[in-house]
Structure 1
Amino acid sequence: MSLQLQKPIAFIDLETTGTNLGTDRIVEIAIVKIGKDGSKQTKRKLINPEMPIPAGASDVHGITDEMVREAPAFRQVANEFKQFLDNCDLGGYNSNRFDIPLLVEEFLRAGLDFDMNNRRMIDVQKIFHMMEQRTLSAAYKFYCNKTLDGAHSAEVDAAATWEVLEAQLQRYPQLGDSLDSIIKFIGEDQVVDFARRFIMSNGIEVFNFGKHKGKAVAEVLKAEPQYYDWMMKGDFPLHTKQKLTEILNRTLLKKSN
């Protein structure tokens, strides 16, 4: 069974300085874009994170400070990647919780608002964990019967993720042949902010941390407006602050009406 695409889907893989969405940076980005006709385009770059790459991170992906010394900073190539992703759905391996959120953070740091509206997200890891529960290398071996040479190279991982999804469609006909059918099967995350400081509950945004956990964000901002200032000054991801501001502005607009 082949995946029937309504628009292109871009499989994203990042290698980074670490796993903190608020403070870590990209050191390599690769995107494998699959067109509606099955054609494939690849874009890959090393990125200078403008901060030292920790030894522990280099041990995983093999990218060192010396390798990225002459590479562009993300802000220098951000528009190029934004245009490459125009009108694309997004996919990856653990991408809903890491690669896509961190990429959105980098776009925001570069002053670009990467619109996530009308983009569907397919996390191949979620399918795999529901069905088999393994790593990407094991998934590649299990589904494709091939050894993943060069794991933790962003381009290799992104391309392997696409191959795994293709193989999953063949193995699990219950997934269907469209992004909508896959999302319906595995469930879709109701994302407010990628760091999941806010979640949806009964159709409204509520806090998912701290003293106001479980309370409606809009109600807290009305009763305790200084909490907005505290969060905006705090070490929260830019995407979280963006969504908090959207909720505040919507709340103020309702009050004025």
Structure 2
Amino acid sequence: MSALQLTRPLAFIDLETTGTNVATDRIIEFAIIKVMPDRSVQTKVKRINPGIPIPPASTAIHGISDEDVKDQPLFKQVSNELKQFMEHCDIAGYNSNRFDIPMLVEEFLRAGQTFEVDSRRFIDVQKIFHLMEKRTLGAAYKFYCDKELVNAHSAEADAMATFEILEAQLTRYDALLKPDVDALAAFTKEDDYVDFARRIIMQNGVELFNFGKYKGRPVRDVLKVEPQYYDWMMKADFPLNTKQKLTEIYHSMMLKKS
């Protein structure tokens, strides 16, 4: 059996939200299973008042209603606590690279804080599963752990199942997967992107728009000939993380001019 090798804590995260739009939806519950290098486990589970109504369709999935969160704190009120709990942690999750992490970063930005990502390594257990077997979380749990996923869409149950699945994957694919975070993060890494919403990607060291009429065009070239495109994006309904990265590129261009 290949046990997961850790040099620093690895936080398994799962979020329940009002929906799937990173720019407009909000977190209503988070669970973090923090696995320490000595294999001890720390858990933090908390419900959040999103400040907006929870759509019935979302409640039907995770079972959390407006009534359930009306007396809970806003994300901003727990952001410092959450940030401290995840300090110096690498992060793992199920579809986390495309959803949980972008959503978490967006909530921190709304709270007026940044969440450090450059120094962290990210492992997406769904990516390993899809590359190897191509199934869903419940099927992954049954396939790898031979267990039924009870309380699916409970953040804590899903996060713990994700941890167990990764351990089982390391055993099943011990000839292919190295049980260390660097190797797993590299294995699940996707194409280079600048923002989590992947509106801007990186190719050969050049930032390119990845949507709309300028898809495939260098961001800097577009902003040089059509600076109003920057203003449009800043006013439009893009995630704050996308606007933050676009602003960094824009400011870098302005500094070179001066």
Deviation at 1:207, TM superposition (A): 0.2
Aligned match of 1:64: 65
Q: Kindly report which structure 2 residues correspond to 1:125-136, keeping only aligned pairs within 5 A, or say none.
A: 125-136=126-137
Aligned match of 1:22: 23
Determine if the alignment matches structure 1 residue 112 to structure 2 residue 105.
no
Deviation at 1:189, TM superposition (A): 3.8
Q: Kindly report which structure 2 residues correspond to 1:232-251, keeping only aligned pairs within 5 A, or say none.
A: 232-251=234-253
AA matched with 2:257: K
Determine if the alignment matches structure 1 residue 7 to structure 2 residue 37.
no
TM-score, normalised to structure 1, is 0.97
Determine if the alignment matches structure 1 residue 199 to structure 2 residue 209.
no
Aligned match of 2:91: 90
AA matched with 1:252: M
Query: How many angstroms apart in 1 are the aligned matches of 2:36 and 2:226?
Result: 48
Q: Secondary structure at the match of 2:115?
A: coil
AA matched with 1:175: L
Structure 2 unaligned blocks of 5 or more: none
Aligned match of 1:255: 257
Aligned match of 2:156: 155
Query: How many angstroms apart in 2 are the aligned matches of 1:224 and 1:191?
Result: 22
Deviation at 1:252, TM superposition (A): 1.6
Aligned match of 2:210: 208
Q: Kindly report which structure 2 residues correspond to 1:34-73, keeping only aligned pairs within 5 A, or say none.
A: 34-73=35-74
Query: How many angstroms apart in 2 are the aligned matches of 1:91 and 1:184?
Result: 13
Query: How many angstroms apart in 2 are the aligned matches of 1:19 and 1:235?
Result: 14
Deviation at 1:183, TM superposition (A): 3.0
TM-score, normalised to structure 2, is 0.97
Aligned match of 1:228: 230
Determine if the alignment matches structure 1 residue 124 to structure 2 residue 125.
yes
Deviation at 1:186, TM superposition (A): 3.8
Query: How many angstroms apart in 2 are the aligned matches of 1:233 and 1:40?
Result: 43
Aligned match of 2:183: 181
AA matched with 1:178: D
Distance 1:95 1:146, change over 3 A: same
Query: How many angstroms apart in 1 are the aligned matches of 2:99 and 2:22?
Result: 8
> Could you report, residue by residue, the CA deviation over 1:210-241 in whole angstroms, capped at 9, with x for unpaired residues?
11111111121122111111110110000000
Deviation at 1:184, TM superposition (A): 3.3
AA matched with 1:191: Y
Structure 1 runs (4+) deviating above 6 angstroms are none
Distance 1:188 1:120, change over 3 A: farther
Counting matched residue pairs gives 256
AA matched with 1:197: R
Contact in 1 for aligned 2:124/2:188 (Cα 8 Å): no
Contact in 1 for aligned 2:49/2:72 (Cα 8 Å): yes
How many percent identity over aligned positions?
A: 65
Structure 1 unaligned blocks of 5 or more: none
Query: How many angstroms apart in 2 are the aligned matches of 1:18 and 1:164?
Result: 25
Q: Secondary structure at the match of 1:91?
A: strand
Query: How many angstroms apart in 2 are the aligned matches of 1:105 and 1:179?
Result: 24
Q: How large is the Cα RMSD of the aligned pairs? A: 1.0
